[in-house]
Structure 1
Amino acid sequence: MTDSDSAEARLLTPVDVRRLAERLGVRPTKTLGQNFVIDAGTVRRIVRVSGVGSDDVVVEVGPGLGSLTLALLPHVRRVTAVEIDTALAAALPATVAAHAPGLADRLDVVTADALRVTELPGPAPTALVANLPYNIAVPVVLHLLELLPSLERGLVMVQSEVADRLAAGPGSRTYGSPSAKAAWYADVRRAGAIGRNVFWPAPNVDSGLVELVRRPAPTTTATRQEVFAVVDAAFAQRRKTLRAALAGWAGSAPAAETALRAAGVDHRTRGEALDITAFARIAEQRA
């Protein structure tokens, strides 16, 4: 199968989105972080930038009314859509059947909270492509990267500030716990900006695209949980030196200093200066 011989999908227009929402009695809620994409050019751009192809199995979180789902289906082997809203999840197969009848068999819909999913049906996903609800974007990305080692890459649309935090490197003012934890799994970078007028309702914030490319976790004798515990401690009091910030983790400030020296890290450094491999070295030194 190639893109040229795939069945086509008629993408949703702004009128389609509003009619679907009205028919389903759906009113976008801040609680679920619902902002539906109404611009066909934007979903085409997301698919293009994601780099997915005919062999990919895509997991999409928060498909909503199906704008991005319809854009993905002609280009990939399969889409597994995870939707917490029961009304939206129930309606998605019918929307796909109406707008892309030749592609309906490529869709699986899972009615679930993406943060609580423990397995997905069908073949192992190779890519994450999603317009993520802003209020849970970081934990969803981290959860799926951990749950699905088959994920080779991802492209997610998130709040612009969240995109900055995920893609930040050590030394940046936006570098923090999300940046370090994402770096455990992947190389992360900003992949573009998205304006507010492509959504309904229009959010009060700008959005950004974040690209993730899976790479091996750091080589360490510490577990991921042990490394993340150091990350959490370091950034819980990010203005303090690591000697002070890690005192609770190590048992005392002198014990933290000893662990830091053994890891080859200056105890006067702050967490924002360290990459994930340095956090892993520190985790190895806990007495």
Structure 2
Amino acid sequence: DANTVRRIVASAGVGGSDTVLEVGPGLGSLTLALLDVADAVIAVEIDPKLAGRLPQTVAERAPSHAEQLTVVEFDALRVTASDIPGEPTALVANLPYNVAVPVLLHLFSELPSLRTAMVMVQAEVADRLAADPGSKIYGIPSVKANFFGTVKRAGSVGRSVFWPVPKVESGLVRIDRYADPPWSMDDAHRRKVFTVIDAAFAQRRKTLRAALAGWAGSPVEAERRLREADIDPSARGETIDAAAFVRLAGTRP
């Protein structure tokens, strides 16, 4: 739906100084709208037929913008900075719903040039990404997304705007990377933090003292490290924010 596409592009706030990364461009409906406003669009498409067709679609429908498009035939879950020409500043995409969260987190990890993301995902996934600590739906996606920046729900998208009509509702999520990161963003540190997050949510009903026993080596050691990070050992993972997990990952073993 053209109106929905325009709304997504407007909500993304991209302009003439942006190089936009689009994942899963498909037939190019969002690509064409992005080319109207951005300096350049890098489209990552895993399907060779669609990747081969997209430049032709742009040449036919928006010939004046054809040179602004670069198509990268690649799996977005495996792409690295070396696979992407230039430094994309914004991710704007209708992400493949079955891998939306892994793709989103992978791209923020691999591409430090990304300042912002506006993505369409399944509605329930959008809710989880933007959930606050203490919510029933707050979990691993919520914490890991907040590791990179501020996350907020940016609207809903009805089924009727798609063809064919899907069986699920969709939602928009915006992530703005921290302009002045409150903690280190290097890969080694991120992996340490994400390991703690995964362990804390592996058994949601357990207290952090019990859930992190394997990670720390014992329940007693888990409690020591939790107290060192100023976290109540009887708390559960869904009650603490990304900053607390960062503190916990930084405690001495």
Q: Are 1:274 and 2:236 an aligned pair?
A: no
Q: Percent identity?
A: 62
Deviation at 1:281, TM superposition (A): 1.1
* Bigger Rg, structure 1 or 2: 1
CA contact (8 A) 2:80 2:111 kept: no
Q: For 1:121 and 1:193, how far apart are their aligned partners in 2?
A: 30
* Structure 2: gaps of 5 or more residues: none
Q: Among residues 130, 133, 158, which one is paired with 2:93 in the alignment?
A: 130
State which of 84, 91, 95 in structure 1 corresponds to 2:53.
91
2: distance between equivalents of 1:217 and 1:268? 29
* CA displacement at 1:286 relative to structure 2: 4.6
Letter of the aligned partner of 1:160 in structure 2?
A
One-letter code aligned to 1:105: E
Counterpart of 2:140?
177
Q: Match of 1:84, as an amino acid?
A: I
**Does structure 2 retain, via aligned residues, the 8 Å contact 1:43–1:67?**
yes
Query: Residues of 1 paired with 2:181 and 2:168: CA distance?
Result: 33
Measure, in 1, the Cα distance between the counterparts of 2:84 and 2:226: 44
Query: Cα deviations across residues 125-176 of structure 1 (Å, max 9, x unaligned)?
Result: 0000000000010011101111111111110000000001111111111110
Partner of 1:10: none
Structure 1 runs of 4+ aligned residues shifted over 4 Å read none
- Within a 5 Å distance, the mapping from 1:66-81 to structure 2 comes to 66-81=28-43
Write the distance in 2 (CA, Å) between the matches of 1:132 and 1:202: 16
Change in Cα spacing, 1:268 to 1:121, as seen in structure 2 (3 Å) is: closer
* Match for residue 219 of structure 1 among 183, 186, 199: 183
1:143-158 mapped onto 2 (5 Å cutoff): 143-158=106-121
CA RMSD of aligned residues (A): 1.3
Could you tell me whether the CA contact under 8 Å between 1:250 and 1:286 is conserved in 2? Answer: no
- Residue correspondences, number: 249
CA distance in 2, matches of 1:164, 1:68: 23
Task: Answer yes or no: is the 8 Å Cα contact 1:57–1:124 preserved in 2.
Answer: yes
TM-score calculated relative to the size of structure 1: 0.84
Residue 249 of structure 1: aligned partner = 215
- Give the whole-Å Cα distance in 1 for the aligned partners of 2:232 and 2:147: 22
TM-superposed deviation, 1:217: 3.9
Q: SS at the partner of 1:89? A: helix
Preserved CA contact (<8 Å) 1:218 1:280? no
